[in-house]
Chains A and B, each alone.
Chain A
């Protein structure tokens, strides 16, 4: 990976789905520190300690599945009631800002200093997900979202690999 940087094939290297222990290990031998960590982040899985550790180490964090369960309902990994957009507290904040619940969840991610990758194939949704730079959540609203954490991970190889592939690849205890 490091050689790819010196050869000019990639500008930055990093890791995904690592936890703090793995990052600690990586930092003991990496000649080029990881620029970015990409992990599952949303109000139901906020991983605050991991974020704090990365801030301390100068590693930027990207959140995948920033809207939580939405990608996993069709895969059988989540239920309708797990959807962030169904959350009444998020709905109330969204109403105040004349934004959607999805936009509030994304804005929360941005204001806590992460970048986000979000998928849609619908033009109107793509547009909605991009329109998150013209409003601010207040500190109180950020706190409300912070308290929604349930350590709820929808993308855990220790779970989905067994159901989907009949193999067992746990990362998290």
Chain B
């Protein structure tokens, strides 16, 4: 049963497993949030979650674990635990890629890391634009431009 966003109904029927989007897509109401899942655990957590019934994975380049998350997704797809079209994958554009010329490259990098051909949803992560940091300089770039700043403070 799809909860109707547009009509603003506060449906109370049991279930309500998906939200209907304006685009016509249906987004699962519970997703696995990947923020702060340690790299070493991420592939396995994502794989186990999908096996358990999770159909929505919430990622972001800033989480620093998209490659590992991708391995978990790929394993589930390869073993036919789920079909790609039945899985919802969200990722987010980081603050340093807001300029027009950087958006597509950032999206392609995320797709490559996740091992996917498309995302179900791509969000602007924060309404904050930061100075561009090339991928080979630092990835994910995090919040500050000076790559030594963090280290200096940690001393």
Residues of A near any B CB (own CB < 8 A):
1, 3-4, 7-18, 22, 33, 35-36, 38, 52, 54-56, 58-60, 62, 64, 71, 106, 110-121, 123, 126-127, 129-130, 132-137, 139, 157, 161, 164-167, 169, 171
Residues of B within 8 A of A12 (CB): 21, 23, 25, 120-122
Cβ B118 vs Cβ A35 within 8 A? no
Q: How far is the CB of A142 from chain B (nearest CB, A)?
A: 8
Could you write out 12 A-B pairs with CB less than 8 Å apart?
Answer: A4-B104, A9-B104, A9-B107, A9-B108, A11-B119, A33-B22, A71-B36, A119-B36, A126-B45, A165-B143, A169-B126, A171-B127
Cβ B123 vs Cβ A14 within 8 A? yes
Task: Give per-residue flags for B98-124: 1 if the beta carbon is below 8 A from chain A beta carbons, else 0.
Answer: 000001100110010000001111111
Cβ B126 vs Cβ A113 within 8 A? no
Closest to A38 in B: B123
Q: Cα distance A126–B44 when bound, in Å?
A: 12
Q: A133 touches which one: B14, B107, B119, B122 (CB < 8 A)?
A: B14
Given A15-B123, A161-B143, answer yes or no on A113-B3 (Cβ-Cβ < 8 Å).
Answer: yes
Does B73 interact with chain A (Cβ within 8 Å)?
A: no
Given A36-B27, A126-B45, answer yes or no on A139-B8 (Cβ-Cβ < 8 Å).
Answer: no
Q: Cα distance A27–B45 when bound, in Å?
A: 37
Residues of A within 8 A of B103 (CB): 1, 3-4
Q: Cα distance A9–B93 when bound, in Å?
A: 13
Work out how many contacts link A and B, with CB atoms closer than 8 A: 193
Q: How far is the CB of A138 from chain B (nearest CB, A)?
A: 8
Cβ A121 vs Cβ B38 within 8 A? yes
Q: B32 touches which one: A17, A33, A112, A126 (CB < 8 A)?
A: A126
Closest to A11 in B: B120
Binds A, one of B47-55, B75-83, B132-140: B47-55
Q: How far is the CB of A166 from chain B (nearest CB, A)?
A: 6
Q: Cα distance A100–B57 when bound, in Å?
A: 23
Task: Give per-residue flags for B35-79: 1 if the beta carbon is below 8 A from chain A beta carbons, else 0.
Answer: 111100100010011001110101000000000000000000000
Cβ A55 vs Cβ B54 within 8 A? no
Cβ A113 vs Cβ B149 within 8 A? no
Q: Cα distance A157–B122 when bound, in Å?
A: 20
Closest to B4 in A: A113
Cβ B45 vs Cβ A121 within 8 A? yes
Cβ A115 vs Cβ B27 within 8 A? yes
Cβ A118 vs Cβ B121 within 8 A? no
Residues of A within 8 A of B56 (CB): 115, 117
Closest to B120 in A: A11
Cβ B22 vs Cβ A130 within 8 A? no
Q: A22 touches which one: B28, B119, B127 (CB < 8 A)?
A: B127
